[in-house]
């Protein structure tokens, strides 16, 4: 009997522990301060605020504004200098290779948002590079880009960059509701399914990760950022974000 009780207790303990590790977070940006699911070391003080004028749901939404020189990074390997103000997910929420996740978020670009022909990323999934090694300058594995008035979703791995989706329609002055279901993998079992305003726009199966050849560890992790990341330029920009969710898909 005692053995049965101990076995049951261990089962419940490990079961509870497993459930606790399942990622399931939500930020509606209704609180006056920033949620602990985010880090702010990729933005300057004052770039982020909670405001009530433009929102997707509820009473408030996030506003991120960038100006010249914010979190400036010098370009390497002939790349241009860059600047950014981005929300970065907490380390405890980073995605693991081989596990499937769902991300949802809504974005709003105001009608006077500048149209630029150079690099501009509004959301990205980066592969974690330890100790700023050889891989530190790699492009994001998956990126949501807005260049020359067009919206792009790109995938970049060892073989280079692929455009998975391009939208030429005007996207400013309206809310864009994104949903991504992603499994990162160096193997052919990687997945990317993306939706825009409830319409499926990407369905990809294949490699969705850089390999160890780029200096990454074998047990890869990936982190999510959203906001404004761009080549250095004089024009200020503002983006609004609301209704963020991330959950682990149990299969």
Q: Determine the Cα–Cα distance for residues 62 and 73; give it in Å rounded to an integer.
A: 24
Q: What is the pLDDT of residue 56?
A: 98
From the CB of residue 214, how many other CB atoms can be counted at a distance below 10 Å?
17
Q: What is the pLDDT of residue 251?
A: 83
- Checking if the pLDDT of 246 tops 90, the result is yes
- Which tens digits make up the pLDDT trace of 186-207? 999 999 999 999 999 999 999 9
As separate numbers, helices (DSSP H) first and strands (DSSP E) second, the chain gives 1, 16
Question: For the chain, how many residues are written?
Answer: 251
- Which tens digits make up the pLDDT trace of 51-110? 999 999 999 999 999 999 999 988 777 778 999 999 999 999 999 999 999 999 999 999
- Checking if the pLDDT of 6 tops 50, the result is no
Q: What is the pLDDT of residue 231?
A: 97
Between these two residues, 15 and 217, which has the higher pLDDT value? 217
- Which tens digits make up the pLDDT trace of 148-189? 999 999 999 999 999 999 999 999 999 999 999 999 999 999
Q: What is the pLDDT of residue 9?
A: 46
- Checking if the pLDDT of 15 tops 70, the result is no
Q: What is the pLDDT of residue 130?
A: 82
Sorted by where each starts, the structural domains of the chain and their CATH numbers stand as 24-248 (2.60.120.200)
Q: What is the pLDDT of residue 14?
A: 43
- Which tens digits make up the pLDDT trace of 122-143? 999 999 988 766 787 789 999 9
Q: What is the mean pLDDT of the chain?
A: 92
Q: What is the pLDDT of residue 218?
A: 84
**What share of the chain has pLDDT > 90, as a percent?**
81
Q: What is the pLDDT of residue 132?
A: 66
Q: Does the model's pTM come out above 0.75?
A: yes
DSSP 130: G
Q: Determine the Cα–Cα distance for residues 73 and 41; give it in Å rounded to an integer.
A: 13
Q: Determine the Cα–Cα distance for residues 101 and 80; give it in Å rounded to an integer.
A: 32
Q: What is the pLDDT of residue 133?
A: 66
Tokens 């996207």 -> residue: 171
Q: Are 162 and 178 in contact (CB under 8 A)?
A: no
């Amino acid at each position: 009997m005692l053995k049965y009780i101990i076995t049951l207790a261990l089962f419940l303990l490990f079961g509870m522990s497993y459930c606790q590790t399942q990622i399931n977070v939500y930020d509606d940006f209704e609180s006056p301060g920033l949620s602990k699911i985010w880090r702010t070391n990729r933005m300057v003080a004052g770039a982020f605020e909670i405001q009530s004028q433009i929102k997707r749901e509820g009473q408030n939404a996030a506003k991120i504004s960038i100006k010249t020189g914010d979190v400036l990074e010098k370009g390497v390997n002939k790349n241009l200098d860059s600047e950014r103000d981005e929300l970065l997910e907490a380390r405890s929420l980073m995605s693991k290779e081989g596990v499937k996740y769902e991300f949802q978020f809504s974005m709003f670009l105001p009608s006077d948002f500048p149209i630029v022909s150079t690099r501009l990323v509004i959301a990205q999934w980066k592969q974690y590079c330890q100790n700023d090694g050889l891989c530190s300058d790699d492009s994001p594995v998956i990126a949501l880009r807005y260049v020359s008035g067009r919206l792009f979703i790109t995938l970049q791995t060892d073989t280079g960059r692929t455009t998975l989706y391009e939208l030429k329609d005007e996207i400013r002055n309206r809310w864009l509701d994104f949903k991504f279901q992603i499994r990162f993998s160096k193997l052919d079992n990687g997945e990317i399914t993306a939706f825009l305003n409830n319409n499926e726009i990407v369905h990809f199966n294949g490699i969705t990760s850089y390999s160890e050849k780029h200096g990454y560890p074998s047990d890869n992790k990936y982190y999510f950022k959203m906001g404004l990341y761009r080549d250095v330029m004089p024009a200020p920009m503002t983006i609004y974000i609301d209704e963020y969710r991330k959950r682990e898909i149990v299969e």
